[in-house]
Structure 1
Amino acid sequence: MAEKSRFSMRSVSVTIAVICIAILACGGQWLPNVFDKMQVFEFKSLGVKLVPALVNLLTGALLFSVSYLLYRPAKAALTRTLDSAGASERGRTMVLRTTQLLYWGITLFVIASVVAPEVLGKLFLGISVFTAALALALKDIASDLFSGTLLQVTRRFNVGDDIAMIGLDVKGKVVDIGYLSTQIKNTEGLQIVPNREMWGKSVKILKVTSMIILPPGYEPKPTAKPSEAEQKPKLFKLLTD
């Protein structure tokens, strides 16, 4: 059912894109002709105002359709890249969700700049001031979050490794690598270190825990038992020896 729904949305996006391209290729000239054929003055003046708005709406619909068609291949390529890099499940989820928000955020911003540039200009000014103030107040949290993403993807060290931070009084076994901090357990207890420190400082790995990263959906094959014909020669050899 989900595959059928995605196929339908893809077909609708392709249809909208083709229709918008065909209409925009005419330069929107057919709309004034329609209103000119109407003898009522109000319709003519209304047509002069509606033509630019309709052209902008068609352009926005075209951009949205193209963005929707490109989203799934781009997501699949990013997923393969993260799998080949050996990213953890938490890191892969974090990167995919962040990329998804950025992708659709940029798409909506571009579409809004085409459809309603005047309204967007005033709104963007207010959002920019608010975002700058918020980023200044939460710069440490943003730095920890970004560093946590890098630690999850690049795998400088893994959970279970014994490490020592150069320049910090931190030494012990890595218990968890979170979004904002890393937990390290030692004889003194549990230390919680901000991820910006874990990424910005040099790390000395004292003991590596062997880990085999399996691809998503991997299922081990059942071990086949030897047949009686294979067991008899071994049993005969054991008795004769």
Structure 2
Amino acid sequence: MIVVQFILFKSPARVACRGAVHSAESNSIVLVDPETVVVGAESDYDVHAFHVGDFQELYREISDQVESTFAAPFRRKPITVLPVPPDLFDVSRRLGNVDRGLMLRFIFIYCLSINRPYFSSLLHHFVDGSLEFFDYIERNSLNPWSVETYARELGLSIRLLNDMFQDKYGVSTKHWLLERRLQRARELLLGTSKKVTDIAHECGFNSHAHFSDTFRRRYKYCPRKMRQDRVGI
């Protein structure tokens, strides 16, 4: 389930949300509910949709910048329009084409600088009810377990676990776990001198051959070649 969309408007535009039409100036970032639509197709804009899981990862990275106590019950706004300086807007847009997670972090830190109480509450609104689930999955994401094992450990059916991942991350359990393991393997390849075989086992792969084949399909480089060429640094 998508919980919020970030729409980056390079040129002025209008958006329709819950029966009302709102205006956005050029170089604006608009946070909206998923059902919001852009009025008029001539505008220059990008749309990025995010799930609860994306915000859980964000929370883990920026929790020290988020307020933890609140004076009143939180009410989420259906739409928030934030004018952004042109240079920051251009950086946000470029990041969106390269790394969605990095773009979300960049934009949300900017949001916190504009209104820390509201955006702190918004982040807690997205993640507080699922912290235990997310923390368990993150702690055990590199274990060489099958999806069936994760389901059994959580006391869930495989179908329910996949439904939860689809709801919170927008992908299946298997897809999310594989992506997390490959990301960690890439970090270790570029940031340590560990043997490729050791990295494969540390990241939950049962064989070096399976790891190498999967890594090459994902990054278009075999592990040793990526380390040699320092791709991504």
Fold similarity call, TM over 0.5: no
TM-score, with length taken from structure 1: 0.29
Choose between structure 1 and 2 for higher RCO, CA contacts under 8 A separated by at least 6 residues: 2
TM-score, with length taken from structure 2: 0.30
- Which structure features the higher share of strand residues? 2
**Rg larger for:** 1
